[in-house]
Amino acid sequence: MTELVVEVTNLSRSFGKTVALDDVNFQASRGNVYGLVGANGAGKTTLIKHLLGLLRAKSGRVRIFGEDPVRNPESVLKRIGYLSEDRDIPEWMSIDELMRYTNAYHSGWDNNYASELLDTFALDPNKKIKTLSRGMRAQVALIVAVAHKPDLLILDEPSSGLDAVVRKDILNAIVRTISEEGRTVIFSSHLLEEVERLSDHVTMIHQGKVTLDSSLELINSSHHHSSLCFAEVQNSVPVLGNTVSISGEGRFWSAIHNSSAEELQKSIQQLGGEIIKSRNATLEEVFVARVGRTVVGENINE
C-alpha cells in the first residue's frame, strides 16, 4: 500500500463571510511531486497553513505523517521543510550564520549538501542577508528548507522573484532530487508551465473548492484542444457533448474537451462542422477552461 504523507479530509475554513476552503479533500503519498494551482484567493495558501499547523481545522481533518500538526507540532514540523513566498529569514545574519543556526535545530542537517548548494548558486557564505538580491534570498531560504533532507517539502511560490536560469537550477536540482529519494514535495505556483514540467499530480483549487485532482498523466491524456470549422457561421456558441469550454466566433471555434477527437467529431458533424486539428491540451488551457481565468502574472498572496 502507498504510504500517505498528507491526508486532508472534508476541510472547510471561513474568515468572516469569506469561504477560503470548501470541503477540500487532498492526499499526498511518498515520493511524488504535487502541484497546487489556483488564482489569487483560491485557497492554496490557506490549505498550506493547515498542513503546517498554523491554522487549526475547524471543520474536517488534517493529518501529516498520521499526526495532527496542531496537536503534535514538534514531531510533525521537524520532518517538514518549508519555503514561503516572503522568504522569512533574518536579515541581520550572514549566510553562514544562518546555516549554522538552522543546523542546530535539525539533527538531519547535511553540511555537505548545504555547501554543494551554496556553490551551485555561487553564494558567498560571508555575505549579510540584508545585502542580497531577492533572488539570492530565495536561494538561501530554499537551502535552509532542504538541507536537513525533510520527508515533506512544502514550497509556496518557490519561483517568485527568480529569473529563468535560477528557477531551473532550483526546481530541477532540488525538487526532483528530493522526490526521487522517496520524499514528498508539495508546491504552489502560478507558473503553470512550471507545474506541468515538474509535477506528478496536480490539484486545482478555485474559490475554495477542488475543481480537478488527478495525476498529470491522466490530465494530459483526458483533455484535448481541438480547432473546429463549420460550414456556416455560428451565431451562438455551438452545443457539443463532453466539452469543458468552447470559444470563437463565426465559422471558427476551439474547444477543450474530455472526449476523444473521434467522439467530438460525431457531435460536430450534426452541426455541419469538422475538426481541423486536435492535440492534448496544456495545463494552462485546462485551467482556463475549468476556472475561466488565467493565473499568470497575478498577485497570488492569499
Same domain membership, residue 239 and residue 172: no
Host H or E run for residue 273: strand 273-280
For the chain, the residue count is 302
Is 228 inside a domain boundary?
yes
Same domain membership, residue 160 and residue 33: yes
Is 297 inside a domain boundary?
no
Is 156 inside a domain boundary?
yes
Structural domain including 250 reads 223-291
Average pLDDT score over the chain: 86
pLDDT one-digit tens code per residue, 94-121: 999 999 988 888 888 899 989 988 998 8
What letter does residue 173 receive in the DSSP assignment? I
pTM passes above 0.85? yes
Is 296 inside a domain boundary?
no
| Structure confidence at residue 299 (pLDDT) | 35
Same domain membership, residue 245 and residue 213: no
Same domain membership, residue 190 and residue 152: yes
| Structure confidence at residue 153 (pLDDT) | 92
The last residue of a domain, from among 172, 202, 219: 219
pLDDT one-digit tens code per residue, 232-251: 999 889 888 788 889 899 99
Grid coordinates belonging to 57: 481545522
With a cut of 70, say whether residue 2 has pLDDT above it: no
Is 201 inside a domain boundary?
yes
With a cut of 80, say whether residue 80 has pLDDT above it: yes
Same domain membership, residue 60 and residue 34: yes
Grid coordinates belonging to 17: 463571510
| Structure confidence at residue 51 (pLDDT) | 96
Same domain membership, residue 180 and residue 46: yes
With a cut of 90, say whether residue 214 has pLDDT above it: yes
Looking at per-residue pLDDT, the higher value among 178 and 84 belongs to 84
Average pLDDT over residues 144-156: 90
Q: Which strands make up the sheet holding 273-280, listed edge to edge?
A: 243-257, 224-234, 273-280
281, β-bridge pairs: none
* Total number of domains constituting the chain: 2
Nearest to 171 by CA among 159, 184, 189: 159
Same domain membership, residue 215 and residue 234: no
Same domain membership, residue 240 and residue 157: no
Average pLDDT over residues 188-212: 89
The shares of helix, strand and coil residues in the chain, as percent rounded to the nearest 5, are: 30, 35, 35
Distances 107 to 113, 183, 280 between C-alpha atoms, Å: 14, 17, 46
With a cut of 60, say whether residue 298 has pLDDT above it: no
Is 231 inside a domain boundary?
yes
Same domain membership, residue 89 and residue 45: yes
With a cut of 60, say whether residue 149 has pLDDT above it: yes
The last residue of a domain, from among 195, 219, 243: 219
On whether the CB atoms of residues 206 and 248 are closer than 8 A, the answer is no
Q: What is the CATH number of the domain that holds 109?
A: 3.40.50.300
Same domain membership, residue 64 and residue 210: yes
Average pLDDT over residues 118-134: 90
Q: What percent of the chain has pLDDT over 70?
A: 93
- Considering only 31-40, 124-133, 144-153, 164-173, which range has the smallest mean pLDDT? 164-173
Torsion sign, CA atoms 106, 79, 116, 124:
negative
Is 17 inside a domain boundary?
yes
Distances 24 to 63, 94, 128, 195, 208 between C-alpha atoms, Å: 13, 41, 42, 20, 8
Torsion sign, CA atoms 258, 261, 267, 268:
positive
| Structure confidence at residue 53 (pLDDT) | 94
The last residue of a domain, from among 219, 240, 272: 219
Same domain membership, residue 152 and residue 22: yes
Same domain membership, residue 210 and residue 111: yes
Is 299 inside a domain boundary?
no
With a cut of 50, say whether residue 263 has pLDDT above it: yes
227, β-bridge pairs: 254, 277
Looking at per-residue pLDDT, the higher value among 158 and 124 belongs to 124
